[in-house]
Amino acid sequence: MCDKIFSMELIQPVFKKYQWGSQTKLQDMFSVTKNGEKLAEAWFGSHKNGDNISKIYKSDLPYLFKVLAVEKCLSLQVHPDKLTAVKGFQSEQEKGLAIDSPTRVFKDSNSKPEMAVALSPFLVAVGVKSSKAQEKFELILENKANISVEQLDKITQKIQNRLKKAKPGELNNLLAEQAFLYARQDYPDDPTALLLLEMNVEKLHPGEAVYLPDGVIHAYIRGECLEIMKNSDNVFRAGLTNKYIDTNLVLRYTNFTPLASYQPDIINKTIYSTNYLPKDAGFGIMLVNCRAKNKIIDLTGPKIVLGLDGKFEINGQLVTRGQAFFVPNKEKICVNSLSKLGQGKFAIAHI
């Protein structure tokens, strides 16, 4: 039973208007006027590029929590480990390179492991398929200027024919090919789309998650997701972007060892909730189906609660889709369903 009302405070998202975003998805979720602009990300955290927490939490939040709407391939990218980030940030600071410089790579001194939890069917390329991937990555990235659009078109035609002939049950084994076609659609002149054919591509169903440690090459292809990461904006880009690309950094720091699974650890799965908590990442996301009366959720550290569907009561406050609240370190979360059917879903970002 909730014997007291625990404190929490309403927070507003910081939106990012990237070209791969959507004109409708985040607008619908957060009740934002649709004016033709593309909203790609909604941020919740204390990062200097999108701070909506520091006024109520007098310390840096150790994670950055986002909602993403992906309607065009994100860049092929990899994130640095902590030591690389510290050295790189210091070096670029000493060179006097502005934080917002288009050639700036290290925006801060933090590593950036991250996790995505699907809100819709979500296509993601993560890691590599085989031990031969490093050789193929080097070949493509170092010779991309010599790969013509005509060559890409021929490969595209072969893949399209293969997909047309595939039986429905075979399509799940051809996700890399599907991702490649999306990339060609989004970046028709970019040969780095070929890298997707060497990668492990997964289609997550709503509620499923993928964890991306430092050094894992990845790209989000299509769909909506929750994303949580260390409080960082450091990215080494390999392709599928108009932003700065550093091939040497990508090849030097990418982990080309194929992994058996990129699923995060699940802690205490119940009929009410699933808590994704990757080992040693320092962050987690709990998905909660609101089916209970006076259910107490006791998670350590600062928390962000985000309504995903329906309506319910949290800490005495009515919460609906798109509303976000900050819950301080020592405060618990008390949930009350407002429906006999137990409708209502929300997420909790936590450490």
Q: Full-prediction pTM beyond 0.85? A: yes
Q: Label each residue of 272-324 as H, E or C.
A: CEEEECCCCCCCEEEEEECCCCCEEECCCCCEEEEEEECEEEECCEEEECCCE
Share of the chain above pLDDT 90, in %: 74
Q: What is the pLDDT of residues 270-315, one digit of tens each?
A: 888 899 999 889 999 999 987 767 788 999 899 999 999 988 888 8
CATH of segment(s) 268-350: 2.60.120.10
Quickly count: other Cβ atoms within 10 Å of residue 38's Cβ. Answer: 19
CATH of segment(s) 13-253: 2.60.120.10
What is the average pLDDT across 197-210? 96
Return the pLDDT at 325. Answer: 96
Q: Kindly state the tokens that stand for 177.
A: 């090919």
Evaluate whether 269 touches 212 at the Cβ level (below 8 Å): no
Return the pLDDT at 294. Answer: 77
Residue with tokens 């492990």: 200
**Roughly what angle, to the nearest 10 degrees, separates helices 149-165 and 175-186?**
140
Give span(s): CATH 2.60.120.10, the chain: 13-253, 268-350
Burial of 341 (0-12, 13-18, 19+ CB in 10 A): exposed
pLDDT at 4 over 70: no
